[in-house]
Chain A
Amino acid sequence: MKTKLKPVKNAIPRVPATISAQPIIPLRERRLNFGNKWNFAPAPEDAKNYVIAPQHELFINGKFVAPRSGTYFESVNPATEQTLTTIAAANAEDVDGAVKAARKAYAQVWSKMPGRERGKYLYRIARIIQEKSRELAVLETMDGGKPIKESRDVDLPLVAAHFFYYAGWADKLKYAFPGKMPQPLGVAGQIIPWNFPLLMAAWKIAPALACGNTVVLKPAETTSITALRLAQVFQEAELPAGVVNVVTGAGGTGGALVNHPDVDKIAFTGSTQVGKLIASSVAERSGAGGRAPRLTLELGGKAANILFDDAPIDQAIEGVIAGIYFNQGHVCCAGSRLFVQEGIYSKVIKKLRDRIQTLRVGDPLDKNTDIGAINSRPQLEKIRGLVQSGVDEGAELTQTQCTLPAKGYWFAPSFLTGVTQAHRVASEEIFGPVLSVMTFRTPEEAFERANHIPYGLSAGVWTDKGSKIFKMVNQLRAGVVWANTYNKFDPASPFGGYKESGFGREGGLQGLAAYCRLD
């Protein structure tokens, strides 16, 4: 072939790159430019088919019933501040009705049912959740503010997996505790928080039911919608009436449940402050010689994420980001204290600064959003207050440069440097997308500083050296230690805290202990 190709008519004129050596950019100008070349268009998840009813009732004895007081409260979409629906407010009488329904279902139906059959109900529930995954993820995002990418890819699969895992235990309990034949406790009162509404419901309900107990669930005030949708799933699965009851409301509803005389077990996930109050009131009752419920608590945390100089730095940065910005930092086990080995400090800060610039903050229903809305105005104020205290106490604040939407509750991903253990931001749980950065020199110093705090829920370790990993795992006083990873959850893996992060474990074989008698 000898003929040249004729140039193309109307071809896009393209200037050929000149063949020359690559220019050397001077030190001061070496920057990554995360700008506006090729902006992603909005990619909203299709939500219009999922209708939210204007009013939601209590779920007692297999039916949706109006609250005795006739009172309802508003539930708001934290990304838009628009009212999504109104939710029934359960008072002490409603709670009593729920506990009675749970007691009746326990005595007459659930405690008599063979484990295999209980397991089949849980399998059905798991299956239906899988089928309704998309809808539940959208509702979770709208009600709580977390990005759809997370509710769809993290929350919902774990919710189904918890029901599947515990379904399989229902007829195998005799193998769980050598020498013991586990028996159910009776009626379990369960109070859950707003950061993982549906997942926390699954963590509580699945093992309770697998072990033969019945449940009264009190979801968080700002996130009741998916718990009530779950109640509809129970109806669809033909779960016998009264086995699970849902009483929505605020702190008072929770209090009525905790203090109800006919509840055999209380499980609470929430702040350490409220956990201590519950522990007090339970202690009072057993002190008075009365029957007191068994108690498990899963409370706050201020986890140390420890970055050694022999860690693969780029991977560790990803782990640090995942550890604190996942779910907007509304995570009890969030890696909120970063301890960086001094030798790599400036490198790490530079990489963190660059990396947070690629986090996308915005509409939680947009599939490209990484950081959603803060769950409520009070929480936003708390975060702002603590960050301000950090700045006032001399720390330096770095934030993602982005435009926050005008309506809704938003906080840009942040980290504070120049933090020491004397700063409030180093010891108080912020529960937001804020990382406090400190340094250390040796492994001993790392775990001493990590442990020197009343909390003890979780910790992270980043190093390529295996023996150092196991040494840190041994020395860290935390219920969950992640090495070269972070924020990993599985129904087979027990989760829970040391010290003031609570007691009791959820998940795995050990997670059954909270819901059985072993005498």
Chain B
Amino acid sequence: MVEERAASFGKRSLKASAKLEGLKMAVSMCDLTTLEGKDTPGKIAYLCRKALQPIEAKYDVPSCAAVCVYPNLVKCARNLLGEHSPVRVASVATGFPSGQFPLATKLNEVRRAVADGADEIDMVIDRGAFLAGDHAKVFDEIAATKEACGPAHLKVILETGELVTYDNVRLASEIAMQAGGDFIKTSTGKVSPAATMPVTLVMLEAIRDYFFATGIRIGMKPAGGIRSAKQALAYLVMVKETLGDDWLNPQLFRFGASTLVNDVLMQIAKQVDGNYQSADHFSLP
């Protein structure tokens, strides 16, 4: 039934003002991401500026929620954005993307990224340990990472494409929340399949049950593979109809994306201007 329920959200028809509202909301939830070996300060400058002002002011579009970068680029991003930016700095850490490194080095990465100015840490769980049945190890690593984060928020990447089954995704979600994660996140974006509607639904259901059991609202971040505005809106419908209004904000829902933003902006421009757009008119992050 997971796939059927997930598919039903894509059938909602969003018109006019509802569509525009949803699209703007989607931009405000984007963690604009660059995670390449060839990232440089120059690239980070493009990214930060785009996140801060995605499109010209006349379209009335908010900033993106955050930029998401590798640890070495955190200081640069923080310098560019300044101390009180509406755009937060998120850093991947803990041996991203594989996580196949000793815990000590992983925790060190986290502390240094936070010291460099990261507001949020996106960690990866040890999938090898999970699939070998050592759930306690997975839990302990998440808890230790949360401690190392200090004031920073922790997002826990499950890498659902490697966990494969919905039962595994559900269990990993529960471990991540109980161990102290503030957000649970589907994917690193380096493995296919990345985020899908059914997997995200399973995670939202886990978040729902956790909320009723503990009173704590955990955030959700699907990442990777979300390229079109249409897909993004389907995700938002899913959040609205699974968890309700309280999760429809950037404090509790993010998109991990890079190419998504421009497709959303193109759709916003189409709604406002009334005609189909060309990519040439939208700046590259």
Contacts and interface: CB of A to CB of B under 8 A. Distances in A.
A and B: real partners?
A: yes
Given A2-B79, A34-B245, A38-B21, A8 B53 contact: yes
B216 to A, nearest CB: 5
A17 B87 CA distance: 10
Contacts of B281: none
Given A22-B182, A38-B21, A38-B22, A318 B63 contact: no
A486 B162 CA distance: 30
Given A38-B21, A318-B5, A22 B217 contact: yes
Interface residues of B, number: 63
Given A8-B53, A43-B13, A149-B11, A358 B216 contact: no
A5 B211 CA distance: 39
B85 A27 contact: no
Contacts of A144: none
A2 B80 CA distance: 7
Given A5-B52, A40-B12, A14 B215 contact: no
Nearest to B211: A30
Contacts of A358: 241
B248 A19 contact: no
B240 A38 contact: yes
A252 interface: no
A39 B16 CA distance: 11
A368 B234 CA distance: 13
Contact of A8 (B5, B57, B82, B251): B57
A22 B13 contact: no
Interface residues of A, number: 50
A35 B13 CA distance: 18
B152 interface: yes
B15 A41 contact: yes
Contacts of B1: 315-316, 318-319, 322, 484-485
A368 B76 CA distance: 46
Interface string B41-65: 1101100110011000100111100
A268 to B, nearest CB: 32
A12 interface: yes
A367 B205 CA distance: 25
Interface in A1-20: 1-5, 8-17, 19
A184 B202 CA distance: 51
Contacts of B81: 4-5
Given A5-B48, A17-B251, A25-B216, A32 B205 contact: no
Contacts of B14: 40-41, 43
Nearest to A370: B8
Contacts of B61: 12
Contact of B11 (A17, A33, A42, A367): A367
B49 A5 contact: yes
B233 to A, nearest CB: 10
A318 to B, nearest CB: 4
B199 to A, nearest CB: 14
B142 interface: no
Interface string A29-69: 11011111111111100000000000000000000000000
Contact of B248 (A37, A149, A316): A37
Contact of B63 (A14, A40, A319): A14
Interface in A346-364: 350, 358
Interface of A: 1-5, 8-17, 19, 22-27, 29-30, 32-43, 149, 153, 314-316, 318-319, 322, 350, 358, 367-368, 484-485
